[in-house]
Structure 1
């Protein structure tokens, strides 16, 4: 059979399939009525009849069988209707995604061509200056072609599944209705996925790709995900299947296994998202709560993967951890598992890592085929990663009342924990397990000791911000009182103990012999993201502002920090290049909104505008001063980062700027025409302006590589402030140019002074 092509899908009209669905809707109704009549009429009368002889032995069973055939015919019609209906819906959705992708590519100058074999190629328009396409454009073209190829493959998969299901429903017997029944195409797809899963590692690469296509396309569908996991058998069968497939992909090293490794990585992600969907009680269709209880019971039991005493026998939690690294899990499912694993670790830190294979496989891979953040032999790292993707569960884990669990995962109602998870993970002597097969003394083992703290940072970030740590969404999330209080506790903890997150690579210098690296320094990028999320609260505390004044708007409950703790916290966190770029971008974006609110917003204040603008720029400038000194400390004193690191970190900070801007866009009033030109400083304009300013600011670090140039960094802050004020004043045609210059000069002076205050606070040791 010829493969479905791009042209087939792009221009296909689904009106015929839509008509078929309508026709089968009518057939279902009519057959349903006939079946009801046969059941309540002919069959009911035959059953009541007092027949003797042949009437009793022949006619009555015939009537009974005939009535059942009407029921079977109605059921078969419903299955056909269900399959055609869902196939129509899914194919239309795929076609819509295809058209959207093509149109989006066209806007980027990417033209798609049909290769005629189920794949597409692409060509690129020349640049406006007639220059050749850039490598970035070529990469975008390849990404678009790959996305379209996947959509075509998905459409062909839907078509094939529907065709096979219709054949099974028909059964091939012209004298008998009532074969396999399907309530939806999801059921068909889940059935096929389970059938493939039963093959285990014997799946061919083609079957493996089909399996991943099915689970990946439907992982967020509750009906499919629930049917799929039930079809695998139960929690133990799920763990055994995933473990065998994971080992199949990660065992061995080199190009010969690269294909299977890629397939196992897709499987890991797809099964994780599907499990999160299937265990969410908010979904109409979901797995029972007993699955969570059974996973906890299996957590400390070893699972036999192969026959015989010498095969791998991982603990249940080692395997489950690999699955749960993907997906946003409901707190009722994930938090008890996270608590149980944490309590097991507290009692026996190396319990799970001692159950690792020796001398086999890749040192970085195990039950975590992704290769990111550990090999997957210690579930503590895995479950912290799961919390990092599950904000509700993370918040409950760190702020709720702990539940004590026995070793078998059952609740110990009379048990006393004696510690809180927040304090447990953030203490200096917490024993982080090396989740790796690397040998002692190698760089691989050194890196492995950072996997756990890094995952902890992700979990803390999710709990504080209310979003998954790697979420690309820029939609503002309201700060609940629990999140705000949790963030206050974080800032206070590291503000009082900044040495826990210090990173010093210059230990040979006697000047720094007592300033060793803290065990949690890898948290700083996550702490930088949390700072950006709460930048309004950080700005307010720089001069001791009242959270009830409303001068520093926040989304939800304000967080109240101690000024000294906040300064010390920022001084240490800002030594991380990514955190520096994030915080600098967030503070500039927030300052932009404050200034714009003063210049163009409504106010009953009688204080002169120049003073109010100076008040608005001062807190951000203090933070800028602290950040610049922190950057200089990292580059010049601790040698923990280079100017190049700061430059590279600036590249992907735009999402945090956008989050801050979108939080405060209500502060930006419509612009009035100035000199005949409409001024509309929208969120996109602010984001672009701030990102460029941050990039320019960070370039200054390159000029400071060998010296602590206070003047250049201060000038960069003044220049950024001046641009913020200048752009805000464009909307005020009633302010003459001389007045505007005076306002800008006053703001620049305040920015320079406040920058100096922040720099001195950090440098003097008050903030270090």
Structure 2
């Protein structure tokens, strides 16, 4: 995008001069309209002059030269009035918009300051935590999380981007009005919105003509950079996005990206060009996503034609490689929120195409070297260079689904679709369809993100600050269905889904905690056996294990602080029961991979990022309890590695004594008047939570078929 306004520039923007200009142009418009039409006074006007010229009898040279001059001059009065009206409308809209932008920025800065987040003059947000002395009490100081900072930065960026767009659109429109120093503009935009759409349509037409000339693979990096900057400016402008898509047509859209992304002849883009293509791919994807929400006859036809072109192959002059339309379009769906109906229909068509190719083997069809062009530049290959094959269209489709959580929830609540994606369909390493890549199955990684969106209602690619759990019944059905289907895979559980399932379970932390701590496993909120198996599979990966543990830890602390009826000791016992459950799952994970000589290193402590995007932000006092318990767990985890400590498979919760102690202390601080919190009763308190951990561990071991050895 063109230069973006800074916080300092927007804050210091003085609008008094602009308001004066608005008032002056309003007066000017009125005067020019009277000169053009005569107004109510019947004075001499351009319209009167034109009428008299048309009514007069002209002879000789006057019939041509003089009459044309007088008529044209008369018209200039109305053109001048129209141009003045456009100037006034643009300035008035700019003033109104900038008043709003400044107010939004001021409100955002004030709101963030209350959370100890400072916004500097360039628009960057940083934590600004006062000292304990300045705050009066260190216990009351809020320390912003990384997720809060991410969300705050997005909020500030959005305001600055909108302000910059107002500035860009109005400046461009005003320049267009005065581009001819010897003539007035007959018609210009009367508002910022109208100017924005008109500029979008003009840009779309310009680049459609450039693409229509062919040989887009020969565009210079400078031209590609200009195209990308235009896309970044216009990707949310329906005037551009719809005009661009329909102007190219479905086949033209697909052929354009096919030609630009992979020219062939050994000229696969790399270096700076590959990086530019990655930016253009994302901006083009967001543009098409924006266009997909239009329901004009032209866009509805484009969407139908794109789906119909999925099974068509698109060649390129001079090479034999011919990817399918589905492969090309799915790589143009990696960013942005596409229309729900379009996503549903596209996905159904893609799946139908796959199921008709029986026996369907994705690596043999999508990964076939005869059709596998390089179409994805949004990620890096093993050497750190931008550009990967992007051959499996299901991957790009699932990325699009993850950005529209409502579609994701519906998709995974369709039993046929859920079985197809989680149980039946084969996925493959797109870097090398025959098993020689880095082992990461990119499309299955996208599957995990789509599943996470389906069960949480959240876009996993956007930072969030949740204040509470707001689940729906369909989202719960997604969770239960995923637990049932994935637990059935046993040790064939896809590794790419471990981190996403950890986050999903953390998002449903209260249900997980209540299920893991159930005395009657048959009556637990979630299927106990399925939950245990999935927790085991998640725990085979260090990062996923950390995400899961942090999510469950917060649920435990939240439960300790929640309002309950009856004896508060129940929360203490439930905490222990869940710790025992989690340790059983972890032991089973270690035992599964015991022949892997590298597995001990997997458990070395480091920070686990991302979990806070999917669990509610809690009050500072409760957060201190969360952090304290997590720190105790982390210390024990590191010591377990440092000491190469083995886990007793009969009582594998024993290595969690420090964590249990921290949970007991937190419970006691919340319930200081309880008999177990009284001085001298610490042993009784730890006995309560410890015995519960034993029970939870014993129950989980029994369900898993683990017995003393």
Relative to the length of structure 2, the TM-score reads 0.75
- For residue 239 of structure 1, what is the aligned residue in structure 2? 254
Q: Is the CA contact 1:278–1:287 (under 8 Å) kept in the aligned structure 2?
A: no
Answering whether residue 698 of structure 2 is matched by residue 757 of structure 1, we say: yes
Tell me the distance in 1 between the aligned counterparts of 2:651 and 2:706: 22
Tell me the distance in 1 between the aligned counterparts of 2:264 and 2:224: 11
- For residue 343 of structure 2, what is the aligned residue in structure 1? 334
Q: Is the CA contact 1:585–1:691 (under 8 Å) kept in the aligned structure 2?
A: yes
Structure 1 residue 592: Cα displacement = 0.6
Q: Is the CA contact 1:539–1:620 (under 8 Å) kept in the aligned structure 2?
A: yes
Deviations, residues 449-492 of structure 1 (Å, cap 9, x unaligned): x2232222222222122112333213246322222122212212
- The more displaced of 290-299 and 46-55 is 46-55
What RMSD in Å do the two structures reach over aligned CA positions? Answer: 5.2
Structure 1 residue 381: Cα displacement = 1.9
- For residue 545 of structure 2, what is the aligned residue in structure 1? 580
- The more displaced of 26-35 and 164-173 is 26-35
Kindly report which structure 2 residues correspond to 1:70-109, keeping only aligned pairs within 5 A, or say none. Answer: 71-81=78-88, 83-84=90-91
Tell me the distance in 1 between the aligned counterparts of 2:506 and 2:643: 25
Structure 1 residue 524: Cα displacement = 2.2
- For residue 293 of structure 1, what is the aligned residue in structure 2? 304
Structure 1 residue 759: Cα displacement = 5.5
- For residue 568 of structure 2, what is the aligned residue in structure 1? 609
Answering whether residue 612 of structure 2 is matched by residue 647 of structure 1, we say: no
Q: Is the CA contact 2:303–2:342 (under 8 Å) kept in the aligned structure 1?
A: yes
- For residue 578 of structure 2, what is the aligned residue in structure 1? 620
3-state SS of 1:427 partner = helix
- For residue 435 of structure 1, what is the aligned residue in structure 2? 430
Kindly report which structure 2 residues correspond to 1:116-195, keeping only aligned pairs within 5 A, or say none. Answer: 162-178=170-186, 181=189, 183-185=194-196, 187-188=198-199, 191-192=202-203, 195=206
Tell me: CA distance 1:68–1:686, structure 2 relative to 1, closer, same or farther (3 Å).
farther
Structure 1 residue 732: Cα displacement = 5.2
Q: Structure 1 residue aligned with 2:557, among 584, 592, 600?
A: 592
Q: Is the CA contact 1:304–1:314 (under 8 Å) kept in the aligned structure 2?
A: yes
Structure 1 residue 253: Cα displacement = 6.9
Q: Structure 1 residue aligned with 2:452, among 446, 456, 461?
A: 461
Segments of 5+ residues of structure 2 without an aligned counterpart are 132-151, 382-386
Q: Structure 2 residue aligned with 1:723, among 651, 662, 666?
A: 662
- For residue 529 of structure 1, what is the aligned residue in structure 2? 503
Structure 1 residue 343: Cα displacement = 1.4
Q: Is the CA contact 1:618–1:750 (under 8 Å) kept in the aligned structure 2?
A: yes
Tell me: CA distance 1:714–1:294, structure 2 relative to 1, closer, same or farther (3 Å).
same
Structure 1 residue 52: Cα displacement = 7.1
- For residue 423 of structure 1, what is the aligned residue in structure 2? 419
Segments of 5+ residues of structure 1 without an aligned counterpart are 114-119, 129-143, 401-418, 502-519, 550-558, 669-679
Structure 1 residue 337: Cα displacement = 0.6
Structure 1 residue 245: Cα displacement = 3.2
Tell me the distance in 2 between the aligned counterparts of 1:546 and 1:371: 49
- For residue 142 of structure 2, what is the aligned residue in structure 1? none
Kindly report which structure 2 residues correspond to 1:105-504, keeping only aligned pairs within 5 A, or say none. Answer: 162-178=170-186, 181=189, 183-185=194-196, 187-188=198-199, 191-192=202-203, 195=206, 198=210, 200-201=216-217, 203-222=219-238, 225-230=241-246, 232-247=247-262, 252=267, 257-280=270-293, 288-303=299-314, 308=317, 310=319, 313-348=322-357, 349=360, 354=365, 365-371=374-380, 375-400=389-414, 420-427=416-423, 430-436=425-431, 438=432, 440=434, 442-444=436-438, 446-447=439-440, 450-475=441-466, 476=468, 478-501=470-493
Tell me the distance in 1 between the aligned counterparts of 2:195 and 2:664: 59
3-state SS of 1:752 partner = helix
3-state SS of 1:237 partner = helix
Tell me the distance in 1 between the aligned counterparts of 2:526 and 2:501: 15
Answering whether residue 601 of structure 2 is matched by residue 660 of structure 1, we say: no
Tell me: CA distance 1:468–1:5, structure 2 relative to 1, closer, same or farther (3 Å).
closer
Tell me: CA distance 1:215–1:616, structure 2 relative to 1, closer, same or farther (3 Å).
same
Tell me the distance in 2 between the aligned counterparts of 1:208 and 1:252: 16
Tell me: CA distance 1:20–1:431, structure 2 relative to 1, closer, same or farther (3 Å).
same
Tell me the distance in 1 between the aligned counterparts of 2:561 and 2:159: 45
- For residue 555 of structure 1, what is the aligned residue in structure 2? none
Q: How many residues align?
A: 654
Structure 1 residue 22: Cα displacement = 4.7
Answering whether residue 479 of structure 2 is matched by residue 538 of structure 1, we say: no
- The more displaced of 733-742 and 473-482 is 733-742
Tell me the distance in 2 between the aligned counterparts of 1:217 and 1:462: 28
Tell me: CA distance 1:229–1:756, structure 2 relative to 1, closer, same or farther (3 Å).
same
Deviations, residues 722-767 of structure 1 (Å, cap 9, x unaligned): 323423443556557427636632443244323532562376349x
- The more displaced of 308-317 and 620-629 is 308-317
Structure 1 residue 350: Cα displacement = 5.6
Tell me: CA distance 1:189–1:49, structure 2 relative to 1, closer, same or farther (3 Å).
closer
- The more displaced of 620-629 and 79-88 is 79-88
Tell me: CA distance 1:394–1:731, structure 2 relative to 1, closer, same or farther (3 Å).
closer
Kindly report which structure 2 residues correspond to 1:15-94, keeping only aligned pairs within 5 A, or say none. Answer: 15-24=16-25, 27=28, 51=55, 53-54=57-58, 69=76, 71-81=78-88, 83-84=90-91
Q: Is the CA contact 1:541–1:563 (under 8 Å) kept in the aligned structure 2?
A: yes
Answering whether residue 509 of structure 2 is matched by residue 561 of structure 1, we say: no
Tell me the distance in 2 between the aligned counterparts of 1:562 and 1:247: 48
Tell me: CA distance 1:575–1:355, structure 2 relative to 1, closer, same or farther (3 Å).
closer
Tell me the distance in 1 between the aligned counterparts of 2:27 and 2:593: 75
Tell me: CA distance 1:567–1:236, structure 2 relative to 1, closer, same or farther (3 Å).
same
Tell me: CA distance 1:5–1:176, structure 2 relative to 1, closer, same or farther (3 Å).
closer
- The more displaced of 317-326 and 344-353 is 344-353
Structure 1 residue 589: Cα displacement = 0.8
Relative to the length of structure 1, the TM-score reads 0.70
Tell me the distance in 1 between the aligned counterparts of 2:572 and 2:645: 33
Q: Is the CA contact 1:298–1:316 (under 8 Å) kept in the aligned structure 2?
A: yes
Tell me: CA distance 1:530–1:733, structure 2 relative to 1, closer, same or farther (3 Å).
closer
Q: Is the CA contact 1:632–1:708 (under 8 Å) kept in the aligned structure 2?
A: no
